[in-house]
Chains A and B, each alone.
Chain A
Amino acid sequence: MDMLLQVGYLITAILFILGVMRLRSPATAKSGNLVAASGMAVAFIVTLIRYHSFSWLWIGLALVLGAVAGGYAARKVRMTAMPQMVALFNGMGGGAAALVSIGELHSEWIHGVSSAAASITALLTVLIGSISFTGSLLAFSKLQEWVRGRPITFPGQKIVNAVLLVIVLIFGVDMIVSGGIHALPLLALYILLSALTGLLLVLPIGGADMPVVISLLNALTGLAAAATGFLLSNNVLIIAGALVGASGTILTQQMSRAMNRPIHNIVFGAFGQIAPGAAGVEAGGGGVVQSATVDDVATMLAYSRSVVIVPGYGLAVARAQQEVRQLTEKLSERGVTVRFGIHPVAGRMPGHMNVLLAEAEVPYDQLYEMDAINPQFPQTDVVLVIGANDVTNPAARNQPSSPLYGMPILNVDQAKRVVVLKRGMSPGFAGIDNPLYTNPKTSMLFGDAKASLDHVIRALDEV
């Protein structure tokens, strides 16, 4: 029996790794997901064969309800709501890991067989899993706008967090040293405080920082799964947890680099707290903003050879993805090469903008990541910036005084002409002036992105 289990888990681990390997290209990714899913099915089946002495009624009910709820939510969710969906599923995984460890520890206490090593891993999983659970739920509520998305801060927040963490650790050590069924109330308190820590960690984090937070929570759930693997001596949990932990860590690093903010800055310093007045003093510099008409823009686009579209989250807010795709097709018919330059943080989670454009049937071979598109800008006739701001700000490259300095940006100012679609002259999310707008190459097309694009598409017919 155990042999079957081990061989089954080995196959699962191989299928997981092969599945992730296939995620390296959009052409093979869909099959990669299926490969990983079949790995999961193998693990599920051998586990059921090995362990079946449970209440089929209750476990069956949990399986069916979980599958129905998960499948339904996954089918219904809109692509713009994908970040909160992923956060929610992530929280479920973290919660499950915490519960498994709680159950295991409690059952060992009842039988009086708990070892220090087992207690350490169990309590660590409970801590990480609970943080991931409540943190993800709060991130979900913020993205879903059930809770104010702006950073929520109060004086002494860091001290409260630190004190809380110290208390949790003291409780943990106490249970490791003298754990047992008598410590049950302490365990309950430990769980509660761990859950509270998750809430307090995500509370001060603002909406634009969500890509980092979701990646980080993803890594935490992976670690929680791996730690459960140590607790249960289950290798497939260790391997899967390590894979997820690595993935979450890489994404967290990439996102925080793309935002030019070290990770501790995001977790421990609420966004929007950049010293006021530091920005924009030079940038404002008395430049003149030129606004363009729809006809100007249409003519400019129609007579260019290559166009790069730079979409930001503003595009998704205006729900203008379909219009962008129509524009792309119109221009392609005229023989204009159209590509998309996508900044890593153009969305609410890593890669989000690519999904939103793919949903609008923009072919993925037109989607270019930052490093691939940046060398192309000098040969580009027109760049169309739609609903993006800070990620195009040249101050990040050449103004050491700017808070954005050092952030990797899309070098749109190196193109021959730039058109910025923008609602008004308000500064970007970080409240920093953008010298791009006063660049003589730049024309501004003010108004709602969806309406503006619609007008440009119609004007193109008459050029």
Chain B
Amino acid sequence: MAHNLLTEVYIFVLAVFVGFQLISKVPSVLHTPLMSATNAIHGIILVGAIALAATVHGALDVGISVAAVFLATLNVVGGYVVTDRILGMFKKKSAERPTE
């Protein structure tokens, strides 16, 4: 890990800058979906959980990796579905509403 550490720190620092630039342009109207979307994005930990599951042996470690996969999947799927639902409600005035 020490070998790549500096490159990884580069990546991290640059990504933080990109993140600050991108996120500061999101209007406050969209802050809730922004939060639930980024919430889903950190569910990317799922790939770490799967990688772990493939490399460990022994009941304890397998149990840990299975639990991690479960939590991460819940995070990913729940996060995207809920963001999609929220964003589906944002409509412009010009969009004709069905008459009630």
A: residues with CB less than 8 A from B are 12, 16-17, 19-21, 23-27, 29-30, 32-34, 36-37, 40, 43-44, 47-48, 50-55, 58-59, 61-63, 65-67, 69-71, 73-75, 77, 79, 82, 85-86, 88-90, 92-93, 95-97, 99-100, 102-104, 106-107, 110, 115, 117-118, 121, 214-215, 218, 221-222, 224-226, 228-251, 254, 342, 344, 347, 349-352, 354-355, 358-359, 361, 363-367, 369-370
Residues of A within 8 A of B92 (CB): 26-27, 363-365
B17 CB, min distance to chain A CBs, angstroms: 8
A33 contacts B30, C-beta separation under 8 Å: no
B2 CB to closest chain A CB (Å) equals 5
Whether B70 and A66, one on each chain, are in contact in the complex, defined by CB atoms closer than 8 angstroms, is yes
Query: In the complex the two chains form, what is the Cα distance from A16 to B19 in whole Å?
Result: 11
- Asked whether, in the complex, the Cβ of A106 is within 8 Å of the Cβ of B47, the reply is no
- B35-A92 in contact (CB<8A): no
A222 to B41 CA separation, bound complex (whole angstroms): 9
* 6 other A-B residue contacts (CB within 8 Å) besides A51-B53, A97-B42, A233-B4: A58-B66, A70-B81, A89-B36, A99-B49, A103-B65, A248-B38
A236–B43 alpha-carbon span in the complex (Å): 11
Jot down 24 A-B pairs with beta carbons below 8 A, ordered by A: A20-B22, A24-B27, A26-B90, A33-B40, A33-B84, A44-B50, A48-B50, A62-B69, A66-B73, A67-B77, A82-B36, A86-B35, A100-B52, A100-B68, A106-B61, A214-B35, A232-B52, A235-B11, A242-B18, A244-B42, A354-B32, A365-B92, A366-B93, A370-B28
Chain B residues in the interface with A (C-beta under 8 A): 1-2, 4-5, 8, 11-12, 15-16, 18-20, 22-58, 60-62, 64-93, 95, 97
Tally inter-chain residue pairs, CB-CB below 8 A: 387
Residues of B within 8 A of A86 (CB): 32, 35-36, 39, 82
CB-defined contacts of B86 to chain A, threshold 8 Å: 79, 82, 355, 358
Kindly report which residue of chain B lies nearest to residue A353, judged by CB atoms.
B32
B100 to chain A, nearest CB (A): 10
In the complex the two chains form, is A250's CB within 8 Å of B20's CB? Answer: yes
Contact between chains at A90 and B64 (CB < 8 Å): no
From A59, A61, A224, A247, B38 is in contact (CB under 8 Å) with: A247
Min Cβ gap B8→A in Å is 6
Nearest neighbor of A360 in chain B, beta-carbon distance: B89
**In the complex, how many angstroms separate the beta carbon of A191 from the nearest chain B beta carbon?**
11
Tell me the smallest distance from the CB of A80 to a CB of chain B, in Å: 12
Q: Which residues of B contact A369 (CB under 8 A)?
A: 27-29
CB distance from B63 to the nearest CB of A (A): 9
The reply to whether A23 and B30 contact each other, CB–CB distance below 8 Å, is yes
Tell me the complex Cα distance, A314–B35, Å. 23
Indicate whether A364 sits within 8 Å of B91 (C-beta atoms), given known contacts A40-B40, A251-B35, A350-B28: yes
> Do B19 and A243 have beta carbons less than 8 Å apart?
yes
Residues of A within 8 A of B61 (CB): 103, 106-107, 110
The chain B residue sitting closest to A255, CB to CB, is B31
A234's closest neighbor in chain B, by CB?
A: B48
B41 CB contact (under 8 Å) in A21, A36, A48, A354: A36
CB B6 to nearest CB in A, in angstroms, measures: 11
Q: A234 and B47 in contact (CB under 8 A), knowing A29-B87, A74-B78, A361-B97?
A: yes
